[in-house]
Structure 1
Amino acid sequence: MNNLNLIQELLWRGLIHDTTYSEQIKNEIITLYTGFDPTYKSLHIGNLVAIIMLIHFQKSGNNIISVIGGGTGMIGDPSGKNCERILKKKELLYNNIFYLKKQLSLYIDFNYPKNEILNNYEWLKKKLFIEFARDIGKYFTINYMLTKDSIKRRISNNNSISFTEFTYQLLQAYDFIYLYKEKNCSLQIGGSDQWGNITSGIELIRKKLGVKVNGLTFPLITKLDGSKFGKTENGENIWIDPNLTSPYEFYQFWINISDEQAKKYIKIYTFLKKEEIKEIIFSHENDPKLKLIQKKLASEITIFIHGKKTFEKIKFISNILFNKKKIINEINKNYIIFIYKNIPHKKIYIYHNFNIPIIDLLVNKSKFLKSKKEAIRQLKLNSIYINKKNIDEKFILNKNDLISGTYVLLQKGKKNFFMIKIVFMLYDYNF
């Protein structure tokens, strides 16, 4: 596929939000790059769009560069932020960079001669401030910098922005000109919130070198509340790291998205052909209850991230949890252990003889539900199950309820599962 056809393909998939390509695209091999922010130790499904974009370009024969922001990460991108970022320590950034490199190498072929992972700290650290101000800063007016959405939105919301974050766009612009000169990189891609930073780099190269380069952004993937996925340890992020989001939770996220989201995401997150996607959507619309789009999307993306063997294990777990005829207490202990390891779970320590009221179990012991008020409400709605049996607020857990003498399966509604492993103590230390 040449680059002209590639752009048409990306447009059909909904993968282009903005682009500077306004003229006939030359069918020549190019080098492009995108950046990854090392503020946490794992990528999430928002970053996954960038990886998929890079793979599309690589399949068309282009050279790709992944830049991890070891330098810019010390400052923090103000894009999409309502307040000043907390600065990260160097040691934490180094640790995060190590993990991000490892993750990127799983999905992108860096054995290809001109594909690279770079850390922008390596060239930013060599630039003295006075030199940077003279060589780069003189090409940007304050008026121009204030027009960028990331800056304008912060100021319009009566929030302050430090000089540190204000200059972020200059550092990213410098990345682009450095990569153009050193690697002949002529295209930068990124999420739609990066448009201002990308165009700053384009302007710098035009003014300083008299060369036209290009930028392209893809749409941001947002949570149900409209906010973007970000690298914070807390919150509802869907991580690529299986230790942060289990493969089972990862798969269930895609299964449970709406039809509208599924029709959009199957184009963005898979490499299925156009005709196959159209056929899946057509079949789904004939019987939406079967959730054919969600199932195909979930299987494709789970196999891509976690592998086929893991996907088969997830199907096995789902068959047990969602099959009403399966009696959980009769399942082989090895299978129960496997389920425990792959769904949200917690180990609790209890004195050998115990009786735990259901609300205490749901809230204090397991933290499955956030509050006593929520537990009472869910129990009144008949939404709580223990070992797949519906129970009420009078229920008290005792030793006879344990699966294989050790485990308890909690369930809220049809989709939310949680497993407890009971570890018995010889003495009761709760005094």
Structure 2
Amino acid sequence: MSKELLQDLQWRGIIYQQTDEEGLQEQLEKESTALYCGVDPTADSMHIGHLLPFLTLRRFQQHGHKPIILVGGATGMIGDPSGKKQERQLQSVETIQHNVDCLKKQMERLFSFEGENGAIMTNNYDWISSLDMITFLRDYGKHIGVNYMLSKDIVSSRLEAGISYTEFTYTILQAIDFNHLYETYNCKLQIGGSDQWGNITTGLEMIRKLQGEGSKAYGLTIPLVTKADGTKFGKTESGAVWLDAEKTTPYEFYQFWINTADLDTVKYLKIFTFLSREEIEALEESLRTEPHLRKAQKALAEEMTRLVHGQEALDTAKNITQALFSGDVKSLTADEIKQGFKDMPSYQPENKDDMLLVDLLVNAKISPSKRQAREDITNGAISVNGEKVTDVQYMVTESDRMDGQFTIIRRGKKKYTLIQY
């Protein structure tokens, strides 16, 4: 079973580096194995750039292994130097704890915590916070040489710009985590992004020194997710794509995935979704022979939105998408309007009086002038709440307010403006 797992991970392009490929395969085939992946609570939500290692952890769980999710309440107070050009801004204990609580809720959507191989949630603040300086230096610092640490990319890449002793010791703290989980849960494997290779191997070195030469532990890293056009994955014009529905609405989340470029779609289906090889290959064939149907992008968007936000949120996102595409916006609820029009142009009239549509078009900057507004109306280019209006004397009244709050004006096929009362 575990041989099939590693073969599947290879086919999906998820494995980047392994410390001992044969040893890991033997370990996974021998018994149900505890493994972990960590995240530092530097924000109150993960973004989609964090997803792949944890989805990979979930794949191990599906094959009978036991996932340990480590939230770095202690390491988050220091900051991982990996991939950073300068020191992190330190956060307060209260902020870190708030972030920890938020991340735990997001993890609960991704993993099953029931049964023999149910996931375990841990926080390294529980064991690192009680370490005094002497214990840290004698029991742990003694075992990791300075030259060994300087050879790691996470440290060497920062030497020229400068690195504090605080961030310099980060890799030892993460090594303490791996050793603690090894002792407490018999955790044999750490997985992480490719930038975590140095931290993972330091953990293995710590286990070897503290547990003896016969100890067996492994590391596996996952490649950095890139886009075919070279731009950064997980970024939009409005910023990162967050897992928190308040930061990135389910509709926005769905739209991010459904707008994936053809060249990236199959790769994302492989690494992010739990669709089978046969299902993905069928979608790849559809992408090649009937790309206009966008079946692969739709499947990707549906799988990811359901996974992160649930079926109800997916249904809402699809409903908003269909309404905006067809122009049938009257079917939308107030919540769906707020989601769908979050980043679209909006206008708030100074008063709630009835207003001539021509004046509203100009005031809301939908049409540049009254003359153009009249032309737009007579040409059938203007819709109010999905209904085409061709009367230049049309008055926008209280009866045009959806849920008493919104009027939706569309000019042409795609230019929507939300009037908010």
- With normalisation by structure 1, the TM-score equals 0.80
Secondary structure at 1:350's aligned position in 2? coil
For the pair 1:400 / 2:396, whether they are aligned, the reply is yes
Instruction: State whether residues 347 and 364 of structure 2, in contact with CA within 8 Å, keep that contact through their aligned partners in structure 1.
Output: no
Partner of 1:47: 50
Give the CA RMSD over aligned residues: 3.1
Partner of 1:350: 350
What count of residue pairs does the alignment treat as equivalent? 382
For the pair 1:57 / 2:60, whether they are aligned, the reply is yes
TM-aligned CA deviation for residue 309 of structure 1:
2.5
Instruction: State whether residues 343 and 418 of structure 1, in contact with CA within 8 Å, keep that contact through their aligned partners in structure 2.
Output: no
Cα 1:288–1:228 change in 2 (3 A) is closer
Cα 1:401–1:237 change in 2 (3 A) is farther
TM-aligned CA deviation for residue 311 of structure 1:
1.7
Partner of 1:146: 150
Distance 2:234 2:297 in 1: 20
Find the partner of 1:268 among 261, 267, 271: 271
Partner of 1:322: 325
For residues 120-144 of structure 1, the C-alpha deviation after alignment (integer angstroms, 9 at most, x for no partner) is: 0000012111211121112222222
Cα 1:339–1:22 change in 2 (3 A) is closer
* Paired residues for 1:328-367 under 5 Å: 328=329, 331=330, 335=332, 337-345=334-342, 348=348, 350-352=350-352
Distance 1:65 1:50 in 2: 12
Partner of 1:294: 297
Partner of 2:134: 130
Partner of 1:308: 311
TM-aligned CA deviation for residue 213 of structure 1:
0.9
Secondary structure at 1:208's aligned position in 2? helix
Partner of 1:212: 216
Partner of 1:162: 164
Cα 1:236–1:208 change in 2 (3 A) is same
Instruction: State whether residues 401 and 408 of structure 1, in contact with CA within 8 Å, keep that contact through their aligned partners in structure 2.
Output: no
Distance 2:146 2:397 in 1: 68
Distance 2:308 2:238 in 1: 21
For residues 101-125 of structure 1, the C-alpha deviation after alignment (integer angstroms, 9 at most, x for no partner) is: 1111122111234531010000001
Tell me which amino acid in the other structure corresponds to 1:420. Answer: L
TM-aligned CA deviation for residue 235 of structure 1:
6.1
Instruction: Indicate the larger mover: 167-176 or 234-243.
Output: 234-243
Secondary structure at 2:418's aligned position in 1? strand
Distance 2:411 2:194 in 1: 37
Cα 1:278–1:225 change in 2 (3 A) is closer
Distance 2:254 2:399 in 1: 25
Instruction: Indicate the larger mover: 61-70 or 237-246.
Output: 237-246
Instruction: State whether residues 169 and 200 of structure 1, in contact with CA within 8 Å, keep that contact through their aligned partners in structure 2.
Output: yes
Structure 1: 5+ residue stretches without partners: 363-383, 390-397, 424-431
Tell me which amino acid in the other structure corresponds to 2:340. Answer: I
Structure 2: 5+ residue stretches without partners: 367-380, 387-393
Partner of 2:16: 17
For residues 260-307 of structure 1, the C-alpha deviation after alignment (integer angstroms, 9 at most, x for no partner) is: 211100011111111111111012100222222111111111122222
Partner of 2:390: none
Partner of 1:426: none
Find the partner of 1:279 among 282, 299, 315: 282
Instruction: State whether residues 350 and 422 of structure 1, in contact with CA within 8 Å, keep that contact through their aligned partners in structure 2.
Output: no
Cα 1:387–1:285 change in 2 (3 A) is farther
Partner of 1:376: none
Partner of 2:391: none
For the pair 1:189 / 2:191, whether they are aligned, the reply is yes
